[in-house]
């Protein structure tokens, strides 16, 4: 009886389903280890280490799924991944690497213990700061005071930031705080210019309300110019992208439910974001909530409405009443737009519609710039090595304006211009170029 009971117990263990937040065998089995992903991986190109390639990381995930322990080495290799998903575009087998790397981080977050300081910082940033307009406003106000007081300028001019060691390098990546913050517009509705053709909801983000307030305003104006009544849902919150990338899926689910509820009864033709990194996660709410009986179907409906602003504008009859933007422009593909959302043509199509603009394609435009959410803060040295190579390709175009479709990429590219640019290049979102063209229209 004991033997029979033991066999039954072992079988039950073997057949027990894996935690759905951990890497699933069906996803791991898609990788045939061909290595075609290697050249598309920024960390492998930079380090030349197999375990820091998509193939190598998948191999390690397979070992852990088979019972190998989660070691410090494994954590480091998983953490060094940018999650840019360039390997997905290169993979002939359809490996959903983005889902795998996020699941691996979720497994690490769930099954291992971090030190007290790391737990405290992560808990504050992910569970307190990012979802809270009040705390973000306070942090933004402090940043604004640091910048307008002249303290930042003095520290940079005197080289004192260099005395801060790693913190000094990270200070160079600090975005500007843009007063007034966009939080004041949350809950407002902006009428369409002329005949209303669409009713859309705009997801304003979290940090973007502080550091990209003018971009958010430009996005609203461009949508209005194209016949959109733009609603900024009052109940919206952080999209949860940074949480998903960090493996903190429980908090990401809470935020996802709130955002779904915020637009559920609005009668919207589309839900719009101007942040490609956020949009990739917003479009994957159905995966995040697939095991939630109350939200699985609403998440699918939300996904069907979700559009990147470039994707939406390129899909409608664009208002071409624009004035010239006389500049040479290049475009840096945001990883989560090109590789995550498979959108490459739309931003270029919109730029081509702007009078006076001369477009020059950048070599390796879809290779990550090194921003990757907060990767440039956590792994600054490697991020800057990747950025230096990106700026070499930017400089080959001779562009006066570097455009992209993600605020995080904009911060990174601005740092690149300061350090390796040829001088005076401007970094802008595609929608800001459209906004400028509309403002230059001779009919105004």
Q: State the Cα–Cα distance between residues 432 and 309, nearest whole angstrom.
A: 11
Q: State the Cα–Cα distance between residues 159 and 314, nearest whole angstrom.
A: 45
- H helix count then E strand count, the chain: 25, 9
Higher pLDDT, 221 or 158: 221
Domain count, the chain: 4
Confidence of residue 375 (pLDDT cuts 50, 70, 90): confident
Classify residue 26: in a domain, yes or no: yes
Are residues 99 and 38 located together in one domain of the fold? yes
Per-residue pLDDT tens over the stretch 232-253: 999 999 999 999 999 999 999 9
Classify residue 6: in a domain, yes or no: no
Q: What integer is the mean pLDDT of 406-414?
A: 94
Q: 96-109 b/e with 16+ CB inside 10 Å = b?
A: bbbbbbbbbbbbbb
Are residues 287 and 187 located together in one domain of the fold? yes
Strands 270-273 and 228-231: unpaired
pLDDT at 6: 37
Q: State the Cα–Cα distance between residues 99 and 245, nearest whole angstrom.
A: 10
Per-residue pLDDT tens over the stretch 279-312: 999 999 999 999 999 999 999 999 999 999 999 9
Are residues 156 and 226 located together in one domain of the fold? no
Strands 198-202 and 270-273: parallel
Per-residue pLDDT tens over the stretch 127-144: 999 999 999 999 999 999
Per-residue pLDDT tens over the stretch 412-435: 999 999 999 988 899 999 999 999
pLDDT at 321 over 90: yes
pLDDT at 168: 63
pLDDT at 429: 98
Residue range of the domain that includes 41: 15-111
User: Which CATH number belongs to the domain containing residue 107 in this structure?
Assistant: 1.10.1060.10
Are 402 and 422 in contact, with CB atoms under 8 Å apart? no
Per-residue pLDDT tens over the stretch 362-373: 999 999 999 988
Are 429 and 277 in contact, with CB atoms under 8 Å apart? no
Classify residue 120: in a domain, yes or no: no
Question: Of the ranges 3-7, 73-77, 306-310, 336-340, which one carries the lowest mean pLDDT score?
Answer: 3-7
Classify residue 116: in a domain, yes or no: no
Give, for 228, the enclosing helix (H) or strand (E).
strand 228-231
Among residues 111, 145, 160, which one ends one of the domains? 111
Confidence of residue 158 (pLDDT cuts 50, 70, 90): confident
Percent of the chain past pLDDT 90, that is, above it, reads: 83
Are residues 77 and 19 located together in one domain of the fold? yes
User: Which CATH number belongs to the domain containing residue 227 in this structure?
Assistant: 1.20.1050
Confidence of residue 173 (pLDDT cuts 50, 70, 90): confident
Are residues 345 and 279 located together in one domain of the fold? no
Confidence of residue 4 (pLDDT cuts 50, 70, 90): very low
Are residues 129 and 106 located together in one domain of the fold? no
Are residues 27 and 98 located together in one domain of the fold? yes
Classify residue 320: in a domain, yes or no: no
Classify residue 152: in a domain, yes or no: yes
Q: Which two tokens stand for residue 297?
A: 């179907």
Reference 229, options 201, 191, 262, 267; nearest CA is 191
pLDDT at 12: 36
* 3-state SS, residue 144: helix
Are residues 211 and 150 located together in one domain of the fold? no
Confidence of residue 54 (pLDDT cuts 50, 70, 90): very high
pLDDT at 17: 64
Strands 306-308 and 189-190: unpaired
Q: Which two tokens stand for residue 363?
A: 């070599």
pLDDT at 406 over 60: yes
Q: How far is CA 8 from CA 16, 17, 367, 413, in A?
A: 12, 16, 51, 58
Angle at 271 between CA 269 and CA 272, to 5 degrees: 120
Are residues 365 and 281 located together in one domain of the fold? no
Classify residue 321: in a domain, yes or no: no
Classify residue 118: in a domain, yes or no: no
Are residues 163 and 189 located together in one domain of the fold? no
pLDDT at 444: 59
User: Which CATH number belongs to the domain containing residue 430 in this structure?
Assistant: 3.40.50
pLDDT at 153: 79
Q: State the Cα–Cα distance between residues 221 and 274, nearest whole angstrom.
A: 13
Are residues 279 and 218 located together in one domain of the fold? yes
pLDDT at 424: 85
Confidence of residue 163 (pLDDT cuts 50, 70, 90): low
pLDDT at 433: 98
Are residues 423 and 357 located together in one domain of the fold? yes
Are 166 and 210 in contact, with CB atoms under 8 Å apart? no
Among residues 315, 336, 353, which one ends one of the domains? 315
């Amino acid at each position: 009886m004991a033997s029979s009971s033991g066999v039954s117990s072992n079988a039950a263990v073997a057949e027990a389903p894996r935690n759905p937040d951990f890497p699933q065998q069906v996803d791991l089995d898609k990788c045939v280890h061909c290595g075609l992903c290697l050249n598309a991986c920024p960390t492998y190109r930079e380090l030349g280490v197999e375990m820091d390639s998509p193939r190598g990381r998948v191999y390690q995930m397979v070992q852990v799924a088979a019972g190998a322990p989660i070691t410090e080495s494994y954590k480091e290799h998983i953490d060094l991944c940018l999650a840019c998903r360039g390997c997905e575009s290169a993979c002939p087998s359809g490996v959903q690497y983005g889902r795998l790397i996020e699941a691996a981080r979720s497994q690490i977050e769930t099954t291992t213990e971090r030190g007290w300081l790391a737990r405290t910082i992560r808990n504050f940033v992910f569970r307190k700061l990012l979802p809270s307009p009040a705390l973000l406003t306070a942090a933004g106000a402090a940043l604004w005071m640091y910048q307008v007081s002249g303290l930042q300028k003095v520290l940079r001019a005197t080289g004192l930031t260099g005395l801060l060691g790693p913190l000094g390098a990270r200070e160079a990546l600090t975005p500007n705080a843009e007063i007034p913050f966009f939080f004041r517009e949350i809950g407002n509705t902006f009428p369409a210019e002329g005949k209303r053709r669409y009713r859309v909801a705009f997801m304003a983000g979290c940090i973007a309300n502080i550091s990209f307030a003018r971009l958010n305003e430009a996005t609203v104006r461009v949508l209005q110019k194209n016949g959109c009544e733009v609603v900024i849902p009052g109940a919206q919150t952080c999209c949860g992208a940074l949480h998903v990338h960090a493996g903190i899926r429980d908090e990401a689910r809470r935020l996802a439910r709130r955002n779904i509820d915020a637009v559920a009864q609005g009668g919207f033709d589309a839900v719009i974001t101007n942040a490609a990194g956020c949009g990739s996660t917003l479009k994957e709410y159905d995966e995040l909530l697939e095991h939630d009986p109350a939200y699985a179907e609403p998440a699918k409906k939300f996904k069907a409405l979700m559009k990147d602003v470039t994707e939406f504008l390129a899909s409608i009859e664009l208002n071409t009443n624009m004035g010239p933007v006389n500049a040479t422009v290049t475009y840096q593909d945001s990883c989560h737009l090109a590789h995550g959302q498979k959108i490459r043509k739309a931003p270029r199509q919109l730029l081509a519609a702007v009078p006076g603009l001369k477009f020059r394609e950048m070599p390796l435009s879809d290779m990550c710039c090194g921003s990757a959410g907060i990767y440039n803060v956590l792994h600054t040295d490697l991020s800057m090595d990747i950025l230096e190579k990106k700026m070499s390709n930017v400089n080959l175009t001779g562009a006066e304006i570097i455009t992209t479709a993600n605020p995080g990429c904009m911060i990174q590219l601005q740092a690149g211009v300061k350090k390796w640019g040829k001088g005076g290049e401007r970094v802008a979102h595609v929608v800001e170029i459209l906004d400028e063209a509309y403002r230059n229209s001779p009919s105004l």
